[in-house]
Amino acid sequence: MKKIAVILGTRPEIIKMAPVIRALEGRNMCYFLLHTGQHYSYTMDEIFFRNLELPQPKYNLGIGSSSHGVQTGKMLMEIERVLREENPDIALAEGDTNTVVASALVASKLPVKFGHVEAGLRSDDRAMPEEINRIIADHISDYLFAPTETAKDNLLKEGILEDKIFVTGNTIVDAVYQNLEIARRRASSQWQAGEEYFLVTLHRAENTDDAERLERVLRGLNKIQEKYKVSIVYPIHPRTLKMIKEYNLENLMESIEVIEPLGYLDFLLLESKAKLILTDSGGVQEESCVLGVPCVTLRDNTERPETLEVGSNILAGTEPARMLESVDEMLKARRDWEIPFGDGKSGERIVRLILKVERNRF
């Protein structure tokens, strides 16, 4: 039986790899979890794994936040140490973080076969560190698990061999369905939603570390609240709150209902009941599409163009007038769009493909 290393570093990766982990568990396969601890403390993530009813990682590297170079360098050393010790046949990682690019680099040089889950996403904006990570990981992967045909086309255009690419659907669909069921059982309901609200998430450095963009977004949210007279609920990250204070923008927060950051299960329920979501998160764009909630993306581009194509999402940028127009448009849109990310069986499909391809090699 093949030994598989599942490498994780951030909470979005844990969420999206959960269906793969559950598929490995269901088949009683030989695998282990390696958590780099890219952002969060061991204690917080230990609870997170428990809440999602997942096994705890065998390894937690505790890398923590740092500059890209320092963080990636530490990961290269520590991931290599573990993979040499465990000697897995295959390593899997998901997404576009430093954990992913470090895992791909280590695996390619040991060598251990590397599978990139959610391969082929492109924003065509190389100013984004995530875009560089995606491209590097894709070009040194042995297995590219593309969520959609669009993602596959991106890979083919870059000269990647077709026999390495597998269109599997996106594990976010599996994750939303599986975790929403868990949420209904286990969420703590720290915040009780009113009858009607718009949900906001804002965390990308391009928005929060640019005083002018951040001010425009907050002014846009005020205009939206003034017109629609609904609660604008914002579970704010401490770092974003710090930047708002640093830029002296607290006066623009008065009409926004700021709440403490929520756990994932509570946040998923909050998403599912929102009238509309405004976000700069790629994962939230996908989740809102799956949940049937209209989305307004506060960015100038997206690596999830499928959400635009089916009509679940619109790019608004950060100009207040355009934000307001986008909310108007999405509130009038039909909510019966087709989910473009698959049937909710992507995790099982990825595991089956690994078994099939490896069996055919020998």
Catalytic residue among 35, 68, 116, 203: 203
What are the residue ranges of helices labelled H in 97-232? 98-109, 129-139, 149-157, 171-186, 205-208, 211-228
Tally of helices (H runs) and strands (E runs) in the chain: 15, 13
Is residue 39 part of the annotated active site? The answer reads no
Centroid of chain to Cα 150:
18
Query: What is the end-to-end Cα distance of the chain in Å, rounded?
Result: 13
User: Percent helix, strand and coil across the chain, each rounded to 5?
Assistant: 50, 15, 35
**Could you please report the per-residue DSSP string of 322-348?**
HHHHHHHHHHHS-S-PPPTT-SS-HHH
**Burial tier of 308 (Cβ tally within 10 Å: 0-12, 13-18, 19+):** middle
Strands (E) located in 15-150: 30-35, 59-60, 90-94, 113-117, 143-146
**Could you please report the per-residue DSSP string of 90-104?**
EEEEESSSHHHHHHH
Beta bridge partners of 362: none
The structure tokens listed for 197 are 């609200």
Closest by CA to 12, choosing from 61, 45, 57, is 45
Enumerate the active-site residues.
203
